[in-house]
Amino acid sequence: MGALVHLTTDVEADRQHALRSTTVLQTNEELGLEEVALLLHRDAVWMVAPDGPDREWVVDLVDAGITVTLGRTCLDARDISYDAVPDGVDLVPSGVSEVVRRQQAGAAYVKIP
C-alpha cells in the first residue's frame, strides 16, 4: 500500500508540514508503505518553479525515493514551463485525476491543509 500527501497551497507553514509529513511517512517502517507520494496541486506547484521557495527540498525528496507529482493543468494555469520542473518530478495530465487514480489503487490519503 502507498500514501499520498496532497498539498494545494503555497502557504509556508503548509509547505513545511507537507515536506515533513512525506519524510515521516517514508521513514516510518512500521507502516510498511510501498510508496510515499507528494502531489503538488493548485498553488503548491510554485514550489518547483525556477525560483520556488522549496525547490531544493523537493529535489531532495525525489532523491530520497519519494514520488513527487504535479498536474500539467496547474502548471498551465500559472504559466510555468514544463521544462522548469526538476528532474525526477512526475508530470500527470491532472492533479485531481491523480488523486482519484491513487485512491482507487488503495493509497492512504493525507490532505494538507
- Which tens digit of pLDDT belongs to each residue from 10-67? 999 999 999 999 999 999 999 999 999 999 999 999 999 999 889 999 999 999 999 9
The per-residue pLDDT for 6 is 98
Rounded CA gap, 14 and 90, in Å?
A: 21
Torsion angle in degrees (nearest 10) through CA of 15, 7, 46, 26: 70
Q: Where are the domains of the chain?
A: 2-112
Band (69; pLDDT cuts 50, 70, 90): very high
The per-residue pLDDT for 53 is 84
Q: Which of left, alpha, beta for 32 (phi over 0: left; psi -120 to 50: alpha)?
A: left
The per-residue pLDDT for 111 is 98
Rounded to the nearest 10 degrees, the angle between the axes of helix 12-27 and helix 55-63 is 10
Question: Could you say which architecture CATH assigns to the domain 2-112?
Answer: 3-Layer(aba) Sandwich (3.40)
Q: What one-letter code names the amino acid at 77?
A: A
Peptide bond preceding 53 in cis form (omega within 30 of 0): no
Q: What one-letter code names the amino acid at 28?
A: N
Q: Give the tens place of pLDDT for each residue, 70-102.
A: 999 999 999 999 999 999 999 999 999 999 999
